[in-house]
């Protein structure tokens, strides 16, 4: 099992309020309120922990409301290396009605100062050499821009770290110039970052090849219910997940990424790596939350994943 460092620059407290039906402009009564610590890097960390890896977690955390995060780190045995920042970590409120409709109200991210940005870079220099892999996932907080983000990714690369990147927008577009070891955008995110449509499989394969020429070793493109296309130096494969009843897609992309990293860390053959990762993502979609809850069901899902070679 490996030591993995995950970087979550813009975590969030997810507040899920369950209520019969939302009535705007009126007093509503909720059935329950659940709070949990979230953020893409932390989601990946939790799935990797389920798979037996040892995690160090870092990024920025508001010093005003760290309790739910610190409880998660203690419960999962994560080594906490988050840089504390004045203020509260943002809250993302989900108003979940009994009929299935969910209304999201996302809070503004923390504002990070230049000194705190520098503090994180210093911390990464200390931590990265002790880890086999660094996962950088999620959006950027206020106060840092994609130039700083590029510096972060370059710093990791210069330390010899293998970097897995999952972000979007300008952070992905500019982050790609540092040629991370692995990327996991969804199809739309990659199309936006590269400024070209990628819905045609040939266009996607061509763009993946360009990225590989630029130095990205593994291009993992998720395609929702259509599955995932993985372009790697060995073989390029597409995985079609089995049909699952969608309960919640929260954490699907993060589960897929964690599954891919697991197979690569373990040195599994490509087919097994991709089928297992696709099954972990399908399981996440079929349950509230994510994580490996039922190993027998996971094995069934894995057996039902259909793999096909991709021509490049
Ligand atoms: N309806 C579905 N049925 C089975 N598997 C699914 C379904 N939706 C998503 N998945 C699996 O989850 C993976 C990730 O989903 P998706 O492409 O939507 O990622 P994403 O847009 O990055 O999501 P996220 O919001 O978690 O970042 C897909 O590649 C697929 O394997
Ligand atoms: Mg995603």
Question: Per-residue confidence of the chain (312 residues) as pLDDT tens digits?
Answer: 999 999 999 999 999 999 999 999 999 999 999 999 999 999 999 999 999 999 999 999 999 999 999 999 999 999 999 999 999 999 999 999 998 888 999 988 899 999 999 999 999 999 999 999 999 999 999 999 999 999 999 999 999 999 999 999 999 999 999 999 999 999 999 999 999 999 999 999 999 999 999 999 999 999 999 999 999 998 899 999 999 999 888 899 999 999 999 999 999 999 999 999 999 999 999 988 888 989 999 999 999 999 999 976
Ligand nearest to the CA of 254: 1
Measured CA to CA, the distance from residue 235 to residue 268 in angstroms comes to 13
Secondary structure letter of residue 261 according to DSSP? H
Separation of 227 CA from ligand 1 center, angstroms? 7
On the CB side of 25, how many CA atoms lie within 13 Å of its CA? 0
Q: How far is the CA of 224 from the centre of ligand 1 (A)?
A: 4
- Sketch the domain layout of the chain as residue ranges: 3-11+39-87+110-309
Ligand located closest to 255 CA = 1
Task: Give yes or no for residue 298 CB within 6 A of ligand 1.
Answer: no
Q: Distance of CA 255 to CAs 30, 84, 310, Å?
A: 30, 27, 22
Q: Which of 38, 222, 229 has most ligand 1 atoms within 8 Å of CB, for mutation?
A: 222
The alpha carbon of 8 and the centre of ligand 2 are apart by a number of angstroms equal to 13
What are the residues facing 164 on neighbouring strands?
A: 135, 182
Using the CB atoms, write b or e for 43-53: b if 16+ within 10 Å: bbbbbbbbbeb
Q: Atom 2 in ligand 1: which residue has the minimum CA distance?
A: 225
**Which CATH superfamily includes the segment(s) 3-11+39-87+110-309?**
Ribokinase (3.40.1190.20)
Which pLDDT does position 191 carry in this prediction? Answer: 97
> In sequence order, what E strands does 23-90 have?
32-38, 54-62, 79-80, 83-85
Name, in order, each residue with C-beta under 8 angstroms of 178's C-beta and a sequence gap of 6 or more: 150, 153, 154, 157, 163
Which residue CA neighbors atom 7 of ligand 1 most closely? Answer: 225
Q: What pLDDT is recorded for position 168?
A: 97
The number of CA neighbours under 13 Å toward the Cβ of 135 is 33
Which helix H or strand E contains 240, and what residues bound it?
strand 237-240
pLDDT at 289: 83
Q: Is the CB of 247 under 6 A from ligand 1?
A: no
Active site residues: 254
Q: Does the CB atom of residue 249 touch ligand 1 within 6 A?
A: yes
Q: Is the CB of 248 under 6 A from ligand 1?
A: no
- pLDDT for 250 equals 86
């Amino acid at each position: 099992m490996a030591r993995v460092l995950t970087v979550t620059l813009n975590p969030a407290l997810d507040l899920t309020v369950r209520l019969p039906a939302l009535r705007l402009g009126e007093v509503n009564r909720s059935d329950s309120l659940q709070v949990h610590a979230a953020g893409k890097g932390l989601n990946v960390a939790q799935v990797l922990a389920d798979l037996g890896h040892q995690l160090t977690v870092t990024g920025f955390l508001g010093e005003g409301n760290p309790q739910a995060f610190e409880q998660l780190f203690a419960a999962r045995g994560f080594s906490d290396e988050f840089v504390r920042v004045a203020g509260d970590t943002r809250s993302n409120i989900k108003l979940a009605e009994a009929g299935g409709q969910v209304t999201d109200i996302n809070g503004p991210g923390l504002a990070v100062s230049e000194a705190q940005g520098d503090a994180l870079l210093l911390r990464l220099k200390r931590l990265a050499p002790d880890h086999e892999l660094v996962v950088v996932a999620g959006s950027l907080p206020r106060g840092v821009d994609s130039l700083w983000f590029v510096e972060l990714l370059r710093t990791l690369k210069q330390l010899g770290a293998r970097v897995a990147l999952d972000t979007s927008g300008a952070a992905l577009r500019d982050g790609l110039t540092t040629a991370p070891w692995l990327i996991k955008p969804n199809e739309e995110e990659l199309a936006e970052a590269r400024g070209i449509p990628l819905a045609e499989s040939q266009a996607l394969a061509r763009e993946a090849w360009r990225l590989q020429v630029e130095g990205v070793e593994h291009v993992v493109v998720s395609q929702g219910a259509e599955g995932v296309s993985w372009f790697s130096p060995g073989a390029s494969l597409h995985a079609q997940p089995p049909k699952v009843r969608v309960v919640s897609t929260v954490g699907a992309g993060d589960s897929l990424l964690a599954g891919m990293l697991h197979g690569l860390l373990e040195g599994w053959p490509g087919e097994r790596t991709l089928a297992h990762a696709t099954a972990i993502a399908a399981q996440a979609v079929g349950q509230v939350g994510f994580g490996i809850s039922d190993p027998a069901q996971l094995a069934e899902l894995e057996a039902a994943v259909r793999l096909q070679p991709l021509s490049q």
